[in-house]
Amino acid sequence: MFKNLEVLEFTINNFYFLPNIRGLTNLKSIFINMPLQEFPIQVLYLRQLETLKLMSIAKNNPFELHEHIELLTNLKILDLRHSYVTKLPKSIENLKNLKMLGLYNTPIHELPSQLKKLTNLETIEIGGLEIKPYSNKKVESSLKKLVKALPSLKVNYN
């Protein structure tokens, strides 16, 4: 019934889990803004995804981005704003089409050096009012190295 669906949005509601979305083979963009307790593994089956926005995921329950995020090779936008992601996996280097990485208002405490292999990466959004990862010396040092490796990269401290 929804096989031709290309954009799907789940906004804040009383659900704490996602319905089965594995069969949505034409889905290009998914926006999830709901109080899930962990990274929604189901999205890893959506290999054609170009935009993945996960907001307010695992509020007050820090998590690491799933290592198999590398399966989403068509991903151009990975937006984790307002989620409690603390670490990105080294496998993120396989997201060769990634153009934007949103880490605004996350407690990210480390950036993998593998980000420098993402030659299409144009923008990283980081910072925040509640949580200030840019005040983390380790993150700031990683960002400086990244900008040196990818001179056209823009770092936006929102």
Among 66, 60, 59, residue whose Cα is nearest residue 43: 66
Which residue has better confidence, 108 or 102?
102
Residue 24 contacts residue 1 (beta carbons within 8 Å): no
pLDDT confidence of residue 155: 93
Assess whether pLDDT exceeds 70 at residue 58: no
pLDDT confidence of residue 4: 86
pLDDT confidence of residue 52: 94
pLDDT confidence of residue 23: 84
Rounded to two decimals, what is the model's pTM? 0.90
Q: Which residue has the tokens 């007050």?
A: 60
Task: Write out the CATH class of domain 7-157.
Answer: alpha beta
* pLDDT band for position 115 (cuts 50, 70, 90): very high
Assess whether pLDDT exceeds 70 at residue 95: yes
- Supply 23's token pair: 């069969």
Assess whether pLDDT exceeds 70 at residue 18: yes
pLDDT in tens, 48-57: 999 999 887 6
- Supply 97's token pair: 């089409």
* pLDDT band for position 15 (cuts 50, 70, 90): low
* pLDDT (average), residues 84-96: 93
Which residue has better confidence, 90 or 61?
90
pLDDT confidence of residue 62: 77
Phi-psi region at 82: left, alpha or beta (left = phi > 0; alpha = psi -120 to 50): left
